[in-house]
Amino acid sequence: MNNMTCIIVDDEPLAVKLLESFVTKTPGMELLGSYTDSVEAINAVKELQPNLLFLDIQMPDLNGMELARMIPESTRVIFTTAFKEYAFESYEVKALDFLLKPIRYNKFMTAIEKAKDWFAAHGNKFESCTGLTGSVPMSRQTIFLKVDGEYRQVAIQDILFVSGLKDYVKFYLTEGQKPLITHLTMKAVEEMLPSEQFMRVHRSYIVALDKIRKVDRNDCIYIGEEIIRVTDAFRDTFLQYINTRKA
C-alpha cells in the first residue's frame, strides 16, 4: 500500500510546524505541502489531490469552511481549530474528524486511524502524487468495514439499514445476522453507499430502498424488524421517491 498523502493549511506557522512534525514521525504518511495562505492552498489541493487535508477554520481571505466546499470529492478534511463551536458544522462539509488546538499526537493518530478506516471502506489504495485518488467504481458490490480490529467484507445487497450514534454506526444485515458496529460517521456512510439504492430518512438512519416492506400514513418505514420514522428534514426527498414509484 502506498502512503496516505496530505496537505496542511493553517495561517499560524507554529501550528503548521507542529502538524508537519506529527506527519513526519507517522509511518505511512506523505506530506505534499504546507500553506499559510488559503487561496494558494486551494490551487495546490486541486492540483495535487491529496488524500487528507489538515485545515484550520479561522483564516483570512478564505476560511476553512468555505475552502472545504471547494476541494475535490476525493480529498477528505480533518479540521484543526481552537474553537470547538465549529465542531457540528465541520461534519456538514466532508470532515472526517475535528482536532481541537492545542493538538496532541494521540488525538492526531486517532484521526489518522479514522481516515484509514474511511479510505479502506472506499477501496482507496492511496495512489501517491499521480492524480489517481482511488475513486470507488459505481458498480462496486461490496464494502469493507473495520469490526473488532479486522476488516469484514459486506455485500451491499445484504444491508437492510444503518443506524448511527455520534462517530459509530451499526450496519443491520438481512437474514437476522448480527449488526456490525464500526467507527464511521453517518455522513461518511451516506457517501459510501450508492445513492440509487440507499436514502437517509432520519439523522440517525439510512435505509435500503428495495428492502422497505411498507410505509404507513405517519411516514413510518417498516424494514426488517425495525420501524423508522421519516423526519421533517428528509421527508420531501423520501416522498418524492415514493411518488415516482406509485402504481
Q: Which three cell numbers stand for residue 242?
A: 415514493
pLDDT reported for residue 88: 46
The long-range contacts involving 202-207, CB below 8 angstroms and separated by at least 24 positions, are: 202/228, 202/229, 202/230, 202/231, 202/234, 203/164, 203/231, 203/233, 204/163, 204/164, 204/165, 205/161, 205/162, 205/163, 205/164, 206/161, 206/162, 207/160, 207/161, 207/162
Task: Please give the backbone phi and psi of residue 182, each rounded to the nearest 5 degrees, phi first.
Answer: -140, 160
Residue with cell 474528524: 97
Which of 16-30, 119-133, 146-160 reaches the highest mean pLDDT?
16-30
pLDDT number for residue 98: 85
Residue 165: the pLDDT is: 85
**Residue 87 — very low, low, confident or very high, per pLDDT cuts 50/70/90?**
very low
| Predicted local distance difference test score (pLDDT) of residue 160 | 96
Cβ proximity of 105 and 124 under 8 Å? no
Note whether 27 and 54 are within 8 A (CB): no
pTM (2 decimals)? 0.53
Q: Could you give phi then psi for residue 141, rounded to 5 degrees?
A: -110, -15
Chain mean pLDDT for the chain = 84
How sure is the predictor about 84, in pLDDT bands with cuts at 50, 70 and 90? low
Contacts of 72 (CB under 8 A, 6+ apart): 45, 46, 49, 133
Size of the chain in residues: 247
Q: What mean pLDDT comes out for the span 84-96? A: 56
Note whether 36 and 13 are within 8 A (CB): yes
The pLDDT of residue 128 is 36
In the chain, the domains with their CATH numbers are 4-121 (3.40.50.2300), 142-243 (2.40.50.1020)
Cell of 69: 466546499
Q: Which helix (H) or strand (E) holds 192?
A: helix 186-192
Q: What angle do CA 186, 190, 196 make, to 5 degrees?
A: 155
- Percent of the chain surpassing pLDDT 70: 86
What pLDDT is recorded for position 94? 61
pLDDT of residue 1: 46
Backbone torsion region of residue 8, taken as left when φ is above 0, otherwise alpha when ψ lies between -120 and 50, otherwise beta:
beta
The string of pLDDT tens digits covering residues 43-74 is 889 889 999 999 998 877 677 778 888 888 78
Cα distance between residue 171 and residue 162, in whole Å = 5
Signed CA dihedral, 50, 56, 61, 66: sign only: positive
Lowest mean pLDDT among 13-17, 143-147, 223-227: 143-147
What pLDDT is recorded for position 229? 96
Q: Which stretch, 82-86, 110-114, 132-136, has highest mean pLDDT?
A: 110-114
Taking only the tens place, the pLDDT of each residue in 175-226 is: 777 899 998 888 888 878 888 899 999 999 999 999 999 999 999 999 999 9
Is the pLDDT at 92 greater than 60? The verdict is: no
